[in-house]
Amino acid sequence: MQADLSTAYIFLRNIEHGLQAAEGQQTHSLSASARGLRALARRLGFDEIETLTAVLDRHRDRVHAVYANLFHDETGEEGLAGRELFRLLAGEIDDEQGRARLAAAGVENPDGALQAIRALDAAPAQGRSSSRNLLANLLASILATEAPLCARGQVLIRLEKVVARAGAPAALYRTLLEDDELRRRLLLGLDAGDLFAARLAAYPELLDFLTAVDLDRDAFRTAVVAAFEEVIANGDDLPSRFDPFRRIKAIEEFKVLAEWLTGRRLSLLNDKLSLVADCAIEAAARAVASDLPPTPDATDPDAGWTVFALGKLGSRELTVHSDLDLVFVYAGETTDAARFQGHQKFVRAIYDLLSNFFYDWSSYEIDTRLRPEGKMG
């Protein structure tokens, strides 16, 4: 095996040097013209193009066999093997043929999938050939996976968005090939919709939570409370807490979604998402109260206030896109204009902390239109 790799490495490097010397730029692709291939063949000591391509294919097959033994080279009865996908990535299979083969492999959106595959291959990576081998085997694994995916084409499109933001694509491809459970959970998540991919693209470190041990409810609540507490403690004022606050919400919500995808337990999803919302509301209220108390004298016995949750949150049935139906109640006379205005500002600040937009989703959509006062709560 070592001898095969060493011989192939030297041969492929000679081809690379021949290409770059001829074109005067960094390139790893064979010429598409017969003239260019003939010149390369003669430069490397071959009389005919066919002889060059035969030797090249032999070395590629040997290298690919090594990778196939180390990293799964899976293919279904109608799937695409890693070797064929490598040829697609290398430009030896044109786009029309590529789309046809993807369609034959059961990919529902071959045009979009092919664009995503090309983009994945174009992602900056050290060790171009090695990265391409890893990607080819990963793609073969995705197309042949036994995981119950609804849309493999969309999975590839969403995967490209995640890789574009994650960086170090070769390391990611290798990790996914080596860890079957991580790969399975990632594919299920990407198949579930755009929300999962958007969160991963924003926070690539969330991959670490896909195979994390699921916490029981009490331990999960303790962890969420601690995360929000850290944001409150480290923020100098309310604006400085906006992004970190919503980041915690996005991360904790992602953990719940990832856990749900493995078992599809709706009650667990509803309960833990509701728990995250509870913790977020409580943390937001305490953060605002410390910076913008609703009344000047917090010791005033009539300074009490509370928040009631109705709707999905009130019934502990929150989903990932549910809004929060909240009612804010405070002690005091309705004729006390100063007290009313103080609480109005207080509620507005909580509203801002919970619901300002972050990236392409809202932290929470707050609905306080359950009383005649409307948005005043």
pLDDT of residue 292 exceeding 70: yes
List C-alpha distances in Å: 313 to 204, 217, 223, 356.
29, 16, 20, 19
Candidate from 126-130, 164-168, 299-303 with smallest mean pLDDT: 299-303
pLDDT of residue 28: 61
pLDDT of residue 117: 92
In the block, residue with structure tokens 């001829």: 22
- Distance between CA 84 and CA 137 in Å, rounded? 10
pLDDT of residue 112: 93
| Contact criterion met (CB below 8 Å) for 344 and 364 | no
pLDDT of residue 203 exceeding 70: yes
| Domain segments of the chain as ranges | 217-376
Candidate from 122-131, 147-156, 187-196, 233-242 with smallest mean pLDDT: 122-131
**What confidence category does residue 74 fall into, taking pLDDT thresholds of 50, 70 and 90?**
very low
Q: What is the DSSP code string of 165-186?
A: HH--HHHHHHHHHH-HHHHHHH
**What confidence category does residue 56 fall into, taking pLDDT thresholds of 50, 70 and 90?**
confident
**What confidence category does residue 79 fall into, taking pLDDT thresholds of 50, 70 and 90?**
very low
pLDDT of residue 358: 45
Give the count of alpha carbons within 13 A of 175, CB side only. 13
pLDDT of residue 71: 53
Ranked by mean pLDDT, the top range of 22-31, 155-164, 230-239, 364-373 is 155-164
**What confidence category does residue 133 fall into, taking pLDDT thresholds of 50, 70 and 90?**
confident
Give the count of alpha carbons within 13 A of 249, CB side only. 28
Q: What percent of the chain stands above pLDDT 70?
A: 82
Rounded to an integer, the average pLDDT of 310-321 is 85
pLDDT, tens only, 262-287: 776 778 888 999 999 999 999 888 88
pLDDT of residue 246: 80
- Distance between CA 249 and CA 238 in Å, rounded? 16
pLDDT, tens only, 205-247: 888 878 765 678 888 899 999 999 998 888 777 777 777 888 8
pLDDT of residue 116 exceeding 90: yes
pLDDT of residue 296 exceeding 80: no
pLDDT of residue 299: 55
- Distance between CA 141 and CA 83 in Å, rounded? 12
pLDDT of residue 360 exceeding 80: no
> Which CATH number does 217-376 carry?
3.30.460.10
pLDDT of residue 156 exceeding 90: yes
- Distance between CA 58 and CA 79 in Å, rounded? 23
State which amino acid sits at residue 291: D
| Contact criterion met (CB below 8 Å) for 326 and 309 | yes
**What confidence category does residue 125 fall into, taking pLDDT thresholds of 50, 70 and 90?**
low
Q: Is the dihedral of CA 22, 24, 27, 31 positive or negative?
A: negative
State which amino acid sits at residue 342: G
Among the residues of the chain, which ranges form H helices?
A: 2-23, 34-43, 49-70, 82-89, 95-104, 110-122, 128-144, 152-166, 169-178, 180-192, 194-202, 217-234, 238-263, 266-291, 311-314, 337-355
For 311: left if phi > 0, alpha if psi spans -120 to 50, otherwise beta; the answer is: left
State which amino acid sits at residue 367: D
pLDDT of residue 123 exceeding 80: no
User: Do strands 366-367 and 324-330 pair parallel, antiparallel, or not at all (unpaired)?
Assistant: parallel
Rounded to an integer, the average pLDDT of 339-364 is 74
Q: Helix (H, G, I), strand (E, B), or coil: what is residue 362?
A: strand
Q: Helix (H, G, I), strand (E, B), or coil: what is residue 268?
A: helix
